[in-house]
Amino acid sequence: METRDRIRIGGITEVFVATVVLRLVAEGRVALDAPVRGVLPGLLPARFSPVTVAHLLNHTSGLPDHVGVPEPKTVQEALRHRFDRWTPREWVATATHGPLKFAPGTRQKYRGINYVPAALIIDEVTGRPYGEAVAARVLGPPGPARTTVPGDDPRVRGRHVHGYPAEADGRLRDVTVYDQSPCRGEGDMISTTKDLDRMLVALFSGELLPPELLEPMFTLPPEEVRMLDGSPARYSTGLQRATVSGVALWGRTGETYGYKNAVFSTRDQRRRFVLAHHPTAVRGDEEGRVAARVADLLSRDPSTGRRPA
């Protein structure tokens, strides 16, 4: 594997979407406090309390669980649904049947579905598919060249890493070709570790957003807004905060069948990493070993590569 090999990046897609929405805010074409129903009439039920653009981007919308969608519990079941096609509005509709989990803005719960309407907002405001806005406003020259939004194409074009999760009997199944329509805007993008690193540098360096709109990406909700389990909120606008070996990092994880990725950096970029992990089956504590290795590297002095005395 090489840093130029394409991978499915899952939820890291949300960093690109949030960046585009914030750029549209900078252009005066949408507002963070704008109700979603005002930008996309009819998408969310009238009975819902107003959900704003900001609520979507920092996962404080309270959108209900999906109803009537496949929930594969095995690789074999996932393969049976690999070519299911959903429009974004159909997918959002599956998460509108029940009541809101909480009043928008009062709690936080990560839900990838928040970014499907976020991508639809980009479509509506720009008049073009959200992938074109990502290309123009985030990837444009001299930006990343191997990062793409596949649209209706279930394949990964060019040199790429395949995803091989294992079935219960240990057989590996290639699930690289997979319709990504259910995760449009929340997890459908393709990139490389090199391109993700370049994007993170450009974003954190202020090349993509003015300071007043970059700041929300490093700002968690108020202290009283907590996760459903009572723990502190950890998602900002487009990013999440994680502490590893006492080091505060900002970035995103991304996971889909056969692919697990993470892209994080300290705000000053003295410690920065992109991880592409392609698990088959967890044997022993494979995930724990990977996490421990990353934690060890991040605890070292950036200038010497040594652990602190």
Domains contained in the chain, CATH given: 7-298 (3.40.710.10)
- pTM flag (> 0.85): yes
pLDDT digits (tens, 9 = 90+) for 146-189: 899 999 999 999 999 999 988 888 889 999 999 999 999 999 99
Q: Band of the pLDDT at 278, cuts 50, 70, 90?
A: confident
Helix or strand (DSSP H, E) at 298: helix 286-298
Cβ–Cβ under 8 Å, residues 154 and 1:
no
Mean pLDDT of the chain: 93
Sorted by sequence, the CB contacts under 8 Å of residue 112 that are 6+ apart come out as: 11, 14, 183, 186, 187
Sorted by sequence, the CB contacts under 8 Å of residue 299 that are 6+ apart come out as: 244, 245, 246, 247, 307, 308
Whole-number pLDDT of residue 144 = 56
Whole-number pLDDT of residue 295 = 80
Report which residue type is found at 290. Answer: V
Of 170-174, 180-184, 261-265, 290-294, minimum mean pLDDT range = 290-294
- Distance of CA 233 to CAs 108, 186, 216, Å? 6, 20, 14
State what percent of residues in the chain have pLDDT above 70: 96
pLDDT digits (tens, 9 = 90+) for 37-91: 999 999 999 999 999 999 999 999 999 999 999 998 888 899 999 999 999 999 9
Question: Which one has a higher pLDDT value, 263 or 284?
Answer: 263
Tell me the mean pLDDT in the region 102-129: 98
Whole-number pLDDT of residue 47 = 96
What is the distance between the alpha carbons of residues 86 and 47, in angstroms, rounded to a whole number?
A: 24
Whole-number pLDDT of residue 305 = 74
193 phi, psi to nearest 5 deg: -65, -35
Of 119-123, 124-128, 129-133, 297-301, minimum mean pLDDT range = 297-301
